[in-house]
Amino acid sequence: MPDARIHIVTAMIATFAISSAYPMTSMQQQQGSVSAARTMVPKKQATARPDKPAAHRLVIQVNQNDSAVMNLALNNATNVLDYYRKKGEEADVEIVAFGPGLHMLRKDTTPVADRIHAMTELAFPSKIRFAACGVTREGMEKKEGKPLELLPEASMVPSGVVHMMELQEKGWSYVRP
């Protein structure tokens, strides 16, 4: 297993080195932004976040179909947002569900729909978002032979893991409950 980690780290370093050596042109960046925007449009338009990013930004991973893990992730998000609210500081939290954790955002299987709704509509509007992995959704739909309906609070991202990685590259902190 340590050998696999070395290979992953080496691949990540190589990717970074290549992307740094060959930066995208402004046209490529614009095309990438348009493409990403098309694939990340949520079913329900979330309340827009302010133009200025929050001082504190946290991405939380949920990759297990376990209500205790889902509730712990929601507790972590609540604690962070409450803490900074009391200090008078801005914070944003994004919970990314992928693999078996996608059940957290599936309308038919989530054990935490009421909490998610309360957090996004009442407690922390525009401060918390939920991202659903498109790769996982596609696999589940193929396996189950039917389209999956997500909670209206969930937005789709092409890949949950890539989305988390990109948020971390932009300075977001990461927690796995």
Tell the burial category of 79 from Cβ atoms under 10 Å away from its Cβ (0-12, 13-18, 19+). exposed
- Model pLDDT, residue 43: 41
> Across residues 53-78, what is the average pLDDT?
96
- Model pLDDT, residue 52: 67
pLDDT at 28 over 50: no
**Cβ pair 122, 87 in contact under 8 A:** no
Tens of pLDDT, residues 76-98: 999 999 999 999 999 999 999 99
Using alpha carbons, list the distances in angstroms from residue 97 to 11, 41, 50, 134.
24, 16, 24, 10
Q: Give the predicted TM-score (pTM) of the model.
A: 0.71
- Model pLDDT, residue 81: 97
- Model pLDDT, residue 85: 95
Mean pLDDT taken over the chain: 81
pLDDT at 133 over 70: yes
What does the alpha-carbon distance between residue 154 and residue 95 come to, in Å, rounded to a whole number?
A: 10
- 54 falls in which pLDDT band (50, 70, 90)? confident
What does the alpha-carbon distance between residue 26 and residue 120 come to, in Å, rounded to a whole number?
A: 35
pLDDT at 42 over 60: no
> Across residues 146-161, what is the average pLDDT?
98
The angle subtended at Cα 67 by Cα 62 and Cα 70, nearest 5°, is 30
Range list of H helices, the chain:
2-21, 26-39, 67-87, 113-118, 134-144, 160-169
Q: Residue 2: how many CB atoms within 10 A of its CB?
A: 6
Q: What does CATH list as the number for 40-175? A: 3.40.1260.10
